[in-house]
A and B are shown apart, each in its own frame.
Chain A
């Protein structure tokens, strides 16, 4: 009996060792990358040892960083004058070897993340000749070749694509089905992407659990009503609220951009003060309990950014302007695998 058990353990260990090292995907918990506009930083999961990786200010900025599956690289956005079009950049986890992956004069590219095998980066590619028209594309890291994952459709935007360790694709659809924003699975399959969050949650910024079974996301991409962190099973069931911030917009905190730990035991996210006077990075257990502040960052700063959110009939864009400030402030944590 004892012999059989140890044999199975050995086989299991060998199987796991043979698997590729996946990204925010399974692995040992590594460092957390975050943004303090205009630069990207990393820190230990306990908030210690903060390191600045980019040094772009005051005219340029970096955003939407994401770890490679082996935890050794970070892909991110740079916005540079004069046009501030989103460019895709790569760097090592220590900030060295920063170089362009994709910069196009006739497209705005944003929100990159790696494929599970680390060979490609999926991102949102926006046309400049048609407003609010952005599709998902993939670029081969070694060769630079582009592949369309979804098609351009006038007025439709697909944001923040994230692959699971098992190769499933989640993204945030904007204006798909006439719904402001929601989380969808799948790309351009014949049946089309399937929505897994209800319209009334205004879901955005999805991230997979390391086992590929669940998706954590933040609510209220627009028209904020105390943004919270929620989780849903990949099949669209098991919808559950992890943070509860009340109904009074200026009395409760505002939570954004959750990222699962590679070990699956915790979730890190951005929490802004009720009055947006500060922005913090907070960690909690995967069930939403035991939240703990890791670092408090200075308030958001307004910056030039070429792509604003959709403008609607009323001309009253106050809420949208507020969101813009938040996005450009400190936060947007992404948890990486500890490199071997």
Chain B
């Protein structure tokens, strides 16, 4: 899709060069593929567990049956092939990363207990690495590690201010993340894979966080606080920070957006006065649809509850 869009607007040698460039890129568009299920974390039975659901709201499936925890900071992420889910959990006393098959089998802890918390894991487009946030004392680090847990975790950045929700660009060459650097409440930044050429994409008053890049690598969807105590609306912008546009209206408090693997839809959490639910909409903000009904009472959906990720349909 990325390739064809460029070919249509390009002729001659330029077109040939573009085709060669994009087809040689490693598995571009992290989660490109046919739309599969949506995974999320919620307290539906007295404790937070990992679930998946069809994009139309049918076939709710409980993936995990883990010890009770009050921590909703699981931040699940589908592997690029749609077969596994990585998440963080505090069952050992610290936040460690785990990988589980989407059918609930094969749970495996992939990080070692070393006095740090690991959270916000996101798979690289080729499935070989994870980007994550590691916190140690007052320091927050954006780090890289092998997705099978082998080797050591490598810190890319370390800072005393908060950073959060790092994610790969679909070409695997950049990391986007939320940060309070510079004294801002929250902004979205981008940097090269190993921390160089760091630059801020959003202006201070937007209070932007939780970036997710479209599978074609051209757009970033994010939530914005906009002077609300919790994320308030879903926005989209070009990957260079231009063209900021609000997608969701005032009618529903919305946050934690994630692109569908085909790039045509966005799933997000939406709050009414009493409950939090999963919603989908077209990538241009049209056709907002509530796919669950009174999924979680709002008072039980604090923190990062209902952060979701839209997986690709597994290739058999």
Contact = CB atoms under 8 A, between A and B. Distances in A.
Interface stretch (B10-18, B43-51, B179-187): B179-187
Interface stretch (A73-81, A179-187, A325-333): A179-187
Interface residues of B, number: 40
Given A199-B184, A316-B133, A318-B137, A223 B160 contact: yes
Interface stretch (B55-63, B79-87, B222-230, B290-298): B222-230
B54 to A, nearest CB: 27
Nearest to B230: A131
Contacts of A153: 227
A314 B133 contact: yes
Contacts of A82: none
Contacts of A178: 184-187, 203-207, 227
A251 interface: no
Contact of A314 (B137, B164, B206, B225): B164
Contacts of A12: none
Nearest to A202: B183
A251 to B, nearest CB: 13
A316 B210 contact: no
A224 B186 CA distance: 16
B33 interface: no
A224 B225 CA distance: 22
A315 interface: yes
A29 B275 CA distance: 58
B122 to A, nearest CB: 14
A175 B180 CA distance: 12
B27 to A, nearest CB: 28
A241 interface: no
A222 B159 CA distance: 13
B184 A314 contact: no
B209 interface: yes
B185 A156 contact: no
B145 interface: no
A208 to B, nearest CB: 22
Nearest to B72: A315
A105 interface: no
B203 to A, nearest CB: 7
Contact of B180 (A155, A198, A223): A223
Interface in B156-197: 160-165, 178, 180, 182-187
B160 A179 contact: no
A212 to B, nearest CB: 26
Nearest to A174: B185
B229 A312 contact: no
A153 B225 CA distance: 13
Contacts of B209: 312-313
B140 interface: yes
A10 interface: no
B93 interface: no
Contacts of A322: 138
B183 A201 contact: yes
Interface in B187-244: 187, 203-207, 209-210, 225, 227-231
Interface in A284-340: 310, 312-316, 318-319, 322
B301 to A, nearest CB: 14
Contacts of A156: 227
Interface magnitude class on chain A: 20 to 34
A249 B160 contact: yes
Interface string A169-208: 0000001011111100000000000000011111000000
A154 interface: yes
A309 B304 CA distance: 17
Contacts of A200: 182-183
B138 A199 contact: no
A178, A223, A310, A319: most-surrounded residue (chain B CB, <10 A): A178
B120 interface: yes
B162 A314 contact: yes
A316 B161 contact: no
B135 interface: yes
Interface string B273-316: 00000000000000000000000000000011000000000000
Contacts of A312: 162, 164, 180, 185-186, 209
Given A133-B229, A315-B304, A225 B207 contact: no
A236 to B, nearest CB: 16
A39 B232 CA distance: 40
A199 B164 contact: no
A303 to B, nearest CB: 21
A110 interface: no
A182 B304 contact: no
B204 A177 contact: yes
B53 interface: no
A315 B229 contact: no
A322 B204 CA distance: 25
A35 to B, nearest CB: 23
A228 interface: no
13 contacts: A131-B229, A132-B229, A155-B227, A178-B185, A223-B138, A310-B185, A312-B180, A313-B178, A314-B164, A316-B133, A316-B140, A319-B161, A319-B162
Given A155-B229, A314-B178, A316-B135, 5 more contacts: A178-B207, A182-B183, A223-B161, A313-B165, A316-B133
Interface of B: 71-73, 117, 119-120, 133, 135, 137-138, 140, 160-165, 178, 180, 182-187, 203-207, 209-210, 225, 227-231, 303-304
Q: Which 9 A-B pairs have the closest CB atoms?
A: A314-B164, A178-B204, A199-B183, A223-B161, A131-B229, A178-B205, A155-B227, A315-B73, A316-B135
Interface of A: 130-133, 153-156, 175, 177-182, 198-202, 222-225, 249, 310, 312-316, 318-319, 322
